[in-house]
Amino acid sequence: MKKYVFAMSILIGANIAIAQKALTLEESKQLALQNNCAIKNGALEIEASRQTRKAAVTKYFPSISASGALFESQKNMMEISTHGGNLPVYDGKDLAGLSTATQFAYMPSSTMGLMKSGTFGMITATQPIFTGGRIWNGNRLAGLGEDVSEYKNKLAQNEVLLKTEEQYWLVVSLSEKQKTIQTYEELLNRLLAQVKDAFASGIVSRNDLLKVKVKRSEVLLNKSKLENGKKLATMAFCQYIGIPYDSTLVLADTLSVADLPQSFYVDHAEALKNRSEYNLLQASVRAEELQSNMKLGEYLPQVAVGVSGIYMKLDDSKDRTLGMAFGTVSIPISGWWEASHSLSERNVKEEIAKNSLKDNSELLLLQMQKAWQDFSDAYKQVLLSEEAKAQTEENLKVNQDSYNNGMISVADLLEAQALQQQMNDQLIDAKAIYRSKQITYLQVTGR
């Protein structure tokens, strides 16, 4: 029995250790990328675009088609009739004597039918020689479509990573606030014990005791709200990265601010080239140009060569096979009237795409500048909050000494404790915002 209890204790301890495995930020990112539906669909979109590109390559090769027909008609589709009558008999000497022949042979009327049944078969191979560049441009357009799918998938990854970090640091900040409020509760518990003793000794009034109890009740209520908020945030985080919710989940990374914002700064004009949004805008311009080239190709001559093999058998005749080589040239003469308007339309759309590229590029640069400013301001806020925290800690120490010496009231000490707790929470929020602004700046600069 003791061995059984000992074994169960080991198993339970092992399960707790596994359940409480610390999850790092990088591990969270990898889980989010693996389990996010948008990322999975993005990979499928890339594969679909890749297959489209491979399909476009086949247009360079000959197209082969085969056809066949078998028919059985109720009646002959063709009939040849001859009238009956007397035919002059040739005496074998002089053909001129046929006109004055005296002997005749009677020929009855008859009808001969054709194509009552038959079998046809044909196989044809056609090789395009010149198609106005449509095959070439179509392949380039298909390749561009694959690039676009990759850019879109990269955008989806960036969004997933950004949201993962935001939710990760939210849970971490709430955990830090739990430690802060726990420390605050312990301070109030010690103060409450002191005030109770002082009240029992008649040193303080009942009003002072009630103030401490009210403040403690307020802290307990905030503690409960904080626990519920952390639970909901953890559930949302687990759902987003695709793992089951675990109340014992521990996040390994801490809210530290070690690096200056200047260490992350890059030239925004150069960083613009790494943005997936910028690459998509460029691809849009290129796509419009390729579509214009393909539209132009529709109005150019089309040249192709080919060969055909034909099998034929009609009625009771012998079957026949024959081969044929051919060349075709198609020139859309009347289409040029339409072409003048269609190509003008394409030129307008190209211009629209170029204008969008210019305008949105400027907006992307503005976004980078704003993200940098927010990042720098977040770092300054951390420094100010650290300074404020140090001041409130010193203020609490002075007020605690003053209270112990009877120089200030309980209300003053409670105010100093609340101010310290407030500054601790403010510093935690500032660090969380700093990490969020940091990843945002890295994202908008293509990193």
Q: Which residues contact 402 (CB under 8 A, 6 or more apart)?
A: 408, 412, 413
Token digits for 310?
């034909």
Whether the CB-CB separation of 45 and 121 falls below 8 Å is answered with no
Domain span at residue 158? 21-74+113-444
Give the per-residue pLDDT at 7.
39
Q: Per-residue pLDDT tens for 228-239?
A: 999 999 999 999
For the residues 205-233, what does the mean pLDDT come to?
A: 91
What's the CA gap between 24 and 31, in Å, rounded? 11
Among 170-184, 312-326, 330-344, 366-380, the least confident range? 330-344
What's the CA gap between 378 and 361, in Å, rounded? 26
What's the CA gap between 3 and 311, in Å, rounded? 89
Residue 208 lies in a domain: yes
Q: What is the DSSP letter of 60?
A: G
Residue 266 lies in a domain: yes
- Greatest C-alpha distance within the chain: 168
Residue type, 97: G
Angle between helices 410-444 and 335-404 (to 10 degrees): 160
Whether the CB-CB separation of 434 and 381 falls below 8 Å is answered with yes
What's the CA gap between 185 and 217, in Å, rounded? 10
Residue 397 lies in a domain: yes
Strand (E) positions, 205-319? 250-251, 302-314
Residue 158 lies in a domain: yes
What predicted TM-score, i.e. pTM, was given to this entire model?
A: 0.74
pLDDT at residue 10 above 70?
Answer: no
Residue 68 lies in a domain: yes
Indicate the number of domains in the chain.
1
Token digits for 214?
């009210």
Residue 15 lies in a domain: no
Q: Could you tell me the CATH number of the domain that includes residue 427?
A: 1.20.1600.10
Token digits for 21?
């495995």
Residue 326 lies in a domain: yes
> Phi and psi for 94 in degrees, rounded to 5?
-135, 120
Q: Per-residue pLDDT tens for 263-320?
A: 999 999 999 999 999 999 999 999 999 999 888 888 888 999 999 999 988 877 788 8
What's the CA gap between 29 and 38, in Å, rounded? 14
Residue 80 lies in a domain: no
- Nearest 5°: the CA angle 288, 290, 295 is 95
Q: Per-residue pLDDT tens for 63-118?
A: 999 999 888 887 777 777 777 667 666 666 666 666 666 666 667 776 666 677 88
**Cα 365 from chain centre:** 23
